[in-house]
Structure 1
Amino acid sequence: MAQVFKMKNEETNVEKDGIVGFSWTMFFFSWLVPLLRGDFFTALVIGVIKIFLLYCIQMEQVEQMFFLMGILFIIVDFKYNAYYTAKLIKEGFRPVDEEGKALLEKYKIKY
């Protein structure tokens, strides 16, 4: 289950949500999640991978592709929120409270 906490960029005074844990929204909505969060490159990469895998399925390699696609996207579902939060940290965002700092330490994300 994903856990949300506030992050703030001190230079621009912008606040965003930091998120860690399994991403159910990624599980159900895939590339739309990074697109709606403004993470356009990740949305593009996930969309291209999905299109490629769907193309492979049409090439009658159905069983292998369903297995590969399932494993790949479950891994992405577990990792995306931590990736997005680490990306926010690189952009200068920091947790605003101790709860956020504790979550980052729990998930081994350096800030």
Structure 2
Amino acid sequence: MATEINLKKGNLAKKGLVGFSWTTLFFGFFVPIFRGDFTWAIIMVVLEAITCGASNIVMAFFYNNKIYTAKLLENGWEPADEYSKKILIEKGMIIE
């Protein structure tokens, strides 16, 4: 199950997710579409077409941590509170 974290960039706030993505498992490419991540939505559409949807199982393990939240951190988003910072450190996504 995914853990919700709070991220900030200047005066903006956004929710990030860390952990297994049940929504990606069940809804596939719709998840990145709703999050505004159109590049990965297209990649997932292609993967789902090639694998008849089986790629959702693999993507459910990787999308939250390795793709979506990692991209936010690379684009300057940072933990908004100590809880979020602690979770990201535990997952190895940031270094203290």
Q: Any stretches of 5+ residues in structure 1 without a counterpart? A: 55-65
Runs of 4+ in 1 over 4 A off after TM superposition: none
CA contact (8 A) 2:48 2:56 kept: no
Q: Any stretches of 5+ residues in structure 2 without a counterpart? A: none
Instruction: Quote the sequence identity (%).
Output: 39
1:91 corresponds to which letter in structure 2?
N
Alignment of 1:60-71 (within 5 A): 69=54
Residue 37 of structure 1, CA deviation? 0.1
Q: If the length of structure 1 is used for normalisation, what is the TM-score?
A: 0.78
Residue 73 of structure 1, CA deviation? 2.8
Task: Give deviations 1:47-79, integer Å, cap 9, x for gaps.
Answer: 01111233xxxxxxxxxxx8xx2xx43221011
2:17 corresponds to which letter in structure 1?
I
**Inter-partner Cα distance in structure 2 for 1:48 and 1:78:** 18
User: What's the C-alpha RMSD, in Å, of the aligned pairs?
Assistant: 1.5
When Rg is computed on C-alpha atoms for both structures, the one with the higher figure is 1
Q: How many residue pairs end up in the alignment?
A: 94
Residue 106 of structure 1, CA deviation? 1.3
Higher helix share: 1
Secondary structure of 2:86's aligned partner: helix
Q: If the length of structure 2 is used for normalisation, what is the TM-score?
A: 0.89
